Amino acid sequence: MPAATKASVRKGILAGGNWIIDQVKMIDVYPQREQLANITGTAITGTGGSPYNLLVNFAKLGADIPLAAAGLVGNDAFGNLILDDCVRHKIDTKNLKVTPDAPTSYTDVMTVTKGGNRTFFHNRGANALWDGSDLDFKKTKARFFHLGYLLLLNELDSPDKKHGTKAAKLLAAAQAAGLRTSIDAVSEDSDRFARVVTPALQYTDYCILNEVEAGKTTGFKIRQDDDNLDIVALRHAAGALLQMGVGELVVIHFPEGGFARTRKGEDVLQSSLRIPARDIVGAAGAGDAFCTGMLLGLHEEWDLAKCLETAVCAAAACLSDPSCTGGMKSLRSVQALAKKYKYKSRLEPEF
- What is the C-alpha separation between 117 and 27, in angstroms, rounded? 10
pLDDT surpasses 50 at 316: yes
- What is the C-alpha separation between 280 and 350, in angstroms, rounded? 10
SS3 4: helix
Q: Look at residue 346 in the predicted model and tell me its pLDDT.
A: 65
pLDDT surpasses 50 at 2: no
> Which amino acid, residue 187?
S
* Mean pLDDT of the 56-85 span: 98
pLDDT surpasses 70 at 1: no
What lies within 8 Å, CB to CB, of 183 at 6+ separation is 146, 147, 148, 150, 167, 171, 197, 200, 201, 204, 206, 207, 208
Burial class (CB in 10 A: 0-12, 13-18, 19+), 187: middle
- What is the C-alpha separation between 178 and 10, in angstroms, rounded? 9
Dihedral sign for Cα atoms in the order 71, 147, 149, 55: negative
SS3 77: helix
* Mean pLDDT of the 132-161 span: 97
Q: How does the average pLDDT of the chain come out, rounded?
A: 93
Count of alpha carbons within 13 angstroms of residue 21, beta-carbon side: 23
pLDDT in tens, 223-265: 988 889 999 999 999 999 999 999 999 999 999 999 999 999 9
Nearest to 254 by CA among 181, 315, 337, 296: 315
> Which amino acid, residue 57?
N
Sheet with strand 13-17: strands edge to edge: 92-99, 67-74, 13-17, 144-150, 180-185, 206-210, 249-254, 257-262, 267-271
- What is the C-alpha separation between 41 and 96, in angstroms, rounded? 33
Find out whether 137 and 179 touch, Cβ atoms under 8 Å.
yes
pLDDT surpasses 80 at 19: yes
Find out whether 323 and 283 touch, Cβ atoms under 8 Å.
no
Q: Beta-carbon neighbour count of residue 291 at 10 Å?
A: 30
Query: Is the link from the previous residue into 149 a cis peptide, with omega within 30 of 0?
Result: yes
pLDDT in tens, 105-117: 999 989 888 877 8
pLDDT in tens, 35-66: 999 999 778 899 999 999 999 999 999 999 99
H helices of the chain, where?
3-9, 50-61, 77-88, 154-157, 166-176, 193-196, 198-201, 211-218, 231-243, 286-299, 304-318, 331-341
pLDDT in tens, 165-192: 999 999 999 999 999 999 999 988 899 9
Domains of the chain as residue ranges with CATH: 12-340 (3.40.1190.20)
What DSSP designation does 18 have?
-
- What is the C-alpha separation between 210 and 289, in angstroms, rounded? 12
Sheet with strand 20-27: strands edge to edge: 39-48, 20-27, 105-112, 118-123
pLDDT surpasses 60 at 209: yes
Q: Look at residue 349 in the predicted model and tell me its pLDDT.
A: 46
